[in-house]
Each structure stands twice: as C-alpha cells, then as structure tokens.
Amino acid sequence: MFGNTESNLEVTGIDFLKSQNTQQHHTDGYNIKNLVVRRGQAFHVQVSLNRELRAADKLSLRFGIGENPVKDKGTLLSLKPEQEDFNGWKISVVKKNGKECLLSVTSSPNAVVGKYNLHVKTGANVYKPENGVIYLLFNPWCEDDVVYMANEAQRKEYVLNDTGYIYVGSAHSIYDRPWNYGQFEEFVLDACMYLLDKSKLSLTDRRDPANVSRAMSALVNANDDSGVLLGNWSGNYINGTSPMDWIGSVTILQKYYKTKKPVRYGQCWVFAGVLNTVMRCLGVPSRCVSTFDAAHDTEENLRVDVYLNERGEKLNSLSLDSVWNFHVWNDAWMKRTDLPEGFHGWQAIDSTPQEQSQGRFQCGPCPVKAVREGDVYLPYDSKFVYAEVNADRVYWLVKKVNGKDKYFKVGTETQAIGKKISTKAVGQNRREDITREYKYPEGSKEERMSMQRAYSFIRPSGMVPRSGYASTIQTLSGSIQPLVPKEPVTKTGLHLEITNTEPLHPGNPLEMAITVKTSTPGNWTVDLTGSCQLQYYTGKVQANLGTIKETVKLEGTSEMQIPMKIAPDAYMKTLSSLEDEVLILVTAIAEVKETNDKLTKETSMRFQYPPITVQMPETAKLYNDFSCAFIFKNKLNVTLENCKLLVEGLGIFKRTTFDQGDIMPGRIMKSEIICTPTKLGEKKIIAKLISNQIKGISTEKAITITE
C-alpha cells in the first residue's frame, strides 16, 4: 500500500503550451510544429507526472544544443526548480495541481541562438518528449538582449513585417519593388537554422548578432561556401530563374533547404531581400537599404573614373570601377559590445558578392554611425561601405593623339555618389529617406570634419586616371593631399540639366532635352556633346542609341534647351533581346570656347509602364474562398511578347506563374485565381508582369482576413 506512493517519480507527458507561449514571445506566426521562443523571456511548460511532486523529489529540465552537449561548455543546461541560475538561465514552479506541475523557464538574454533538445530528468528516469526541439531566437523585446529595440512600431516593421518594398530604379526615377520576405513561412526558420550550423560559428559566437549577421552575409551568396544564391549579372539566365523573376525570398529559401544547393540566380536586391528574411527570422531587427549612385570597386581610393569617347558615350572597356544606379544592402539593429561606446544601432551588412573580406565574400556589420562620422577603421568593412556612399566621380575624355589614347579631365562631381539612401517607412507603404543617418548634409562643417577623419584612414590617390598618366599631387610633408570637395564653380556659371520631355514609354520615341545655362555677364560659345545609351543598373552599357553635337551661343544669365530624340527602331530590338531591366543613360559634355571651362553631367531614367490592377474584396474570412483578378491593359504601341504573370500572397497562395503569350497593343489581359486564406490579419498579394520588352511592372494589394 505505502510502496506505491513512494514509487519513483516519472514524467508521463509535457505540454509546451504553444499558443500561449508563442503569443507572448511574438512567435505565433512561425509555420512550424515546434515551440519557438525568444531568449531572456519566460515561457511556460506543463509537466504531467505519475504522482504529486514533493520537496524531496529530484526534477530537472535539460536543454542541450549542438552535436554533443556538455555542462562545462555551457551547451548542456541542467535546470532545477528554485535553484540558482545556471549560465543565466532559471526555472521556477508556477503552480502544482495534483499530478500537474506548471514550470516557468527563462533563458539568458545572451543565450546561444539555435535549436535545443529538451529532456526531463526525474531521479534515474529521463523523459524525451515528442517534438522536444525548442527553437530559441534573438529577442528585440528584451531590454538585456543586445538586439533590444525600444519602439513597438519599429519592432512590428523590422522584425514582424513579412512584406515590404525594395527601392530600385535610378536617383532620377526611384520606384518600389514589392517583396515578400516571408520569414514565418514553412521551412524558412529551418533553412536559417541550417545556415547557422553551416556557418561553422562556434556556439559561443552564436550568442552575438554581430558574428551571426556577418556569417549570414557570407552564406546568403553562394561564393566560397555554397550558400543560398548564385549571383549572375551576365544577362544569360537560361539554366535558372532570372533575377527579375523573383518576387520574394520564400521560394528561394525553401528550394535551398530542400536541395542544399545554391539557387540560381540573384542580383543585389534579391541578395538583400533574402538576407532581410534571414535576419528577421532569427529575431534581429533589419531593413533593406537602397543607395542610388553607389560606387563599386573603388579600391578604397574614393574615386570612380568614368571614360567617355569623343561622341560623349560612356566606355565599358576601360573602367575597373563603376557606379551602380542603385545598390541594395541591409541594416541590422544591435549593440556592438566589441566596439567603443557610440556605435550601437544600425549596422550595414551586405550579402551581394563584390569583394572579399577576411578571405570570404562577406560584408559587415559596419556601424552606420562610423560611416557618418568617418571612423572608417572600425570593423567590419567600414572603408568599403564609406566609399560606396562617398566616392567622387571623375569624367575623362579619351582622345586619340598621334595614334595613342590621351585622357583629358572634363569634370569632377563630388556630391554625386550615395544619393537618396532609402528604406520602407515604419508602418507605412512609402519610401523613407535615411541619407542623414549615413552622411552629414553636403557642405556642412560636420561633413568636412567627417571627411578629414575618413581621409586620415584612407589614402586616396591624386587626380590620375587609373591608367596612370600623371603623377599624384604631393604636399611638402609628402602625404597625399585629399582633393577639396567642391562642385566646380566655372567662370561662366555653366550648368547642365537633363530631362525627358515626353513619357518614356517602350515603343515610342524617347524625347529628351539637355538644357545649357550660363549665369555670368559676357558672350559665351558652348560646344555641347550629348549621347543616349541603354545600360544595366550596374552601369554596364548595353547599346548606343544616338548622339548630338551642337554649338550654342548664350549671353549673360540665359539658357537654351537642346532636344534629343531617339526613334523606337534605334532601341526596341535591344530592349526585346535583354533579360534584365535597362535604364536610359543620357550624358552631356559642355565646353565653353572662351574660357575652356568644361562640365559633364549624366542622368539615368527608367522606362514608364502601364499598371497592373488587382481586383478583390477588401476583407475575407479565414478559410473562406475569395476570387482575385489581375487586369492589365497594354497601352503601349508595341506587342508585349512571351508575357508571364507572377503572383504570390503569403498566407493565401503559393507563388504561381500564368503564361499569357503575346499581348497586342490595346488588348486587355485578365487572370483569375481562387484564394483560400490560412492566416489572420492584413495580407498582401503581389503581382508582377514580365515580357521580352518589359521586366518591371509590379503591384500589390492588401486584404484583411478576419475570423
């Protein structure tokens, strides 16, 4: 009779109280059967026993992480109720009710992030629950976690929002590309855990978001570690998916997790979209950041050389460095415990494979404040990020003199790089300009001081074309004199503006104008050379469309507009044959005969397209079907060939492709899809139309799903 009550204590079951825990931990969105919680915050488990728990009983919860968890390495945590904490973890009994025992577990706010196996030990018995793997993430809601973010609206945007926009185009015409991050979708968290294991970070290193974000910037590209995405800028995507065809990260990460092989193909916004998903999924607040006119490969000399021929056309062949119309990277939010005070907050990370850092294609985390202050000696890769947003652009005219190429400087722009740095606004569907977080206002005292600071760590060469003709400018002390950054003020007050005078619709003539202005007394004769080219966003020229040469006579403060018109035949064939979206590049060189003043200006513009409209109800009920229609009217004067409509709605339907064939001018395309919502709240549907002629028409529409 008594023997029975003295029986050994055994666990008969465990309830992870998933719905209550995940709501409190803001992890209820994850589509996974396991418990997902955040570090530094209590969660509850209900343990069922074969008899009541007594004071003398030995009960411990064991959390193990990694291949072979051991106590002395801190990878096996053995927690007993009411005991002193173990590596910052603690456990307590909330209440006992007969054979049921409710326990509260609080992990350390700097615990290792990853997958833990939970076993319950009672005396000599060990109970291994089904689905006993618990996922532990970073916690922006916990004040003691280094990723703590105080503002709730920001946490909603930068951690929990699974859709957003990535800004692309050119500084002259920015547009938003809707993107599904989908950090809560099936297999995405598992893919991130796989990447953590693949990163070869020690478990200790996995406590710190700086190490984790650096490792993820390396693993999102396939270079040197067969990571997630293979970059391809060649224009040939025959054995993969064209970078233009993605509308979100989910398909990419799911495919990668399934095959464990790099997915083909990515360009910068795809790398940034995927890295954003990975960081938000792991619990690190992050955002996609687009910089317009970003400098690449400047070899830390803070200068990009642009070479023009005598017709004013940009030459690809000579340039080692380049200005990309836009480049997208990410900012991740954290305290940098490895750096002096003052560099907490946003850190730039970049997974587009451009340059090796410490032997791998990785970039960051680089404190955004270090870029602004010119503290470019701080880890990681701050010189590289500084140059991307602060380089000067120098124009060289290449002329044949006695059969040899000679280089003539025809302009320097010191405020042309790193413009309109953009991200999606918090809680709103609009662009927020964050240039001020990266740079002081151009020409301000702070900017000058920051620049002098940066120049003390970076040694820019003097004004020499890369081909190495002239000698550097030496000062008395022998150090290299940084160029004083000023827009060239000419004797004539010469100024150039480039605009389009009609909408730039594919199939129509491209009608543009170059305006030449002078603003000082006198009679001026200005030789104007202008060219129009098609280029990729990386600055690589794809076609020369036409040039103009004019001599303009101006007096005092006056201006003249010179038209430039390109017939559709000059560009439509090229446009239809390219796999990527292209921009229209107009370059103008002006030389004043009387004073020999020279000025160069370039502007990139994007084609304008008719819209796609989405028709669907504003609200729908969970698990109740609704119909969604996509309508597109071809208002262009040209047939759109091989049209594909790509659509995706997180929590509504998976990425689907409709082949639409050719759409003639004036014709209307309509596609319909029946949707079954599986998640509550505001959901977005993204649609994108791709054809031989145009790559960039996309739209999105929101619907609220209710119970």
Dist CA 663 CA 58 (whole Å): 74
* Secondary structure class of 110 (helix, strand, coil): coil
Residue 97 forms beta bridges with which residues?
Answer: 100
Residues labelled catalytic: 268, 327, 350
- Residue 297 has phi, psi (to 5 degrees) of 55, 45
| Nearest alpha-carbon partner for 24 in 169, 119, 162, 139 | 139
Question: Both ends of the chain: CA-CA distance in Å?
Answer: 53
Estimate to the nearest angstrom the gap between the alpha carbon of 71 and the chain centroid.
39
Residue with tokens 């015409």: 173
The CA-based diameter of the chain, rounded to the nearest angstrom, is 118
**406 near 310, Cβ under 8 Å?**
no
* 185 marked as part of a ligand binding site: no
Helix (H) or strand (E) holding 167: strand 163-169
Cα angle vertex 236, ends 231, 241, to 5°? Answer: 60
Answer for the pair 289, 421: CB distance below 8 angstroms, yes or no.
Answer: yes
The first and second tokens of residue 514, run together, are: 């170059």
**Any binding-site annotation on 390?**
yes
Name the DSSP letter for residue 371.
H
d(CA 30, CA 25): 11
Give the Cα separation of 260 and 168 in Å (integer).
Answer: 30
Give the C-alpha separation, 61 to 80, whole Å: 7
d(CA 209, CA 337): 10
133-137 and 90-97: which strand pairing? unpaired
**Residue 122 in tokens:** 């009672």
Q: Which long-range contacts (CB under 8 A, 24 or more apart) does 356-361 make?
A: 357/381, 357/384, 360/218, 360/223, 360/224, 360/225, 361/218, 361/221, 361/223, 361/224
Phi and psi at 588, nearest 5°, equal -130, 135
625 is in an annotated binding site: no
Q: Are 22 and 35 in contact (CB under 8 A)?
A: yes
- Residue 579 labelled as part of a binding site: no
Of 211, 215, 212, 454, whose CA–CA distance to 338 is shortest? 211
Contact 645, 658 (CB under 8 A): yes
Give the C-alpha separation, 97 to 155, whole Å. 37
CB-based contact 307:262 (threshold 8 Å): no
d(CA 108, CA 87): 7
Closest CA to 637 of 503, 517, 520: 503
Binding site membership for Ca(2+): which residues?
Answer: 390, 392, 442, 447
